[in-house]
Amino acid sequence: MKRVAVYPGSFDPMTNGHMEILRRALSVFDEVIILVAVSPTKKSLFSLGERFAMIKEATKELPGVSVDMTEGLSINYAREHGAIALVRGLRAATDFEYEFKMAAGNRFVDPKIDMVFFMSAPAFTFLSSSTIKELFMHGTDISPLVPLAVAEALKKKLNEIKK
């Protein structure tokens, strides 16, 4: 039986920290579905479709990865797609508190789907999508911190904003 996991997030945009968590999840699961989700509490720089396209491009060489999008609950998506786990990354204690609450809510909805957490590599503990956007908007070269597709999309988005 295939072990399928869902890796949900807003990924606005995807970072190399996300990619590192994904690669580690692929060492545990046969298939990982990256689920690009709408977060009603976040204002996104990129549309759902733009994020989907960037991630599709960034992961095209990774076997066992597929990309999908949802506006619903990740736990419901996982159940509907036969996943046994939701994958999440942890950078710091503040992430733990947020993820702990989310895990409890997900367990309430479907106790058969586990939450699996991967600690970020030390090089990525400071890295978040918000940090990437802020650094980029202030002229910092973020190319070492994001997949090539993301760096290109950020340049394009900046040109659109300037117009």
Tens digits of residue pLDDT in 82-128: 999 999 999 987 788 889 999 999 999 999 999 999 999 998 888 89
User: Identity (one letter) of the amino acid at 162?
Assistant: K
Could you give the CA distance from residue 23 to residue 98 in angstroms, rounded to a whole number? 23
Torsion of CA 57, 116, 31, 125, to 10 degrees: 30
**Closest of 91, 99, 93, 84 to residue 15, by C-alpha:** 91
Residue 81 bears catalytic tag: no
For the domain 4-162, what is the CATH superfamily, name and number?
Answer: HUPs (3.40.50.620)
Residue 18 bears catalytic tag: yes
Residue of 24, 51, 120, 129 with catalytic role: 129
Residue 143 bears catalytic tag: no
Determine the pLDDT at residue 92. 81
Residue 138 bears catalytic tag: no
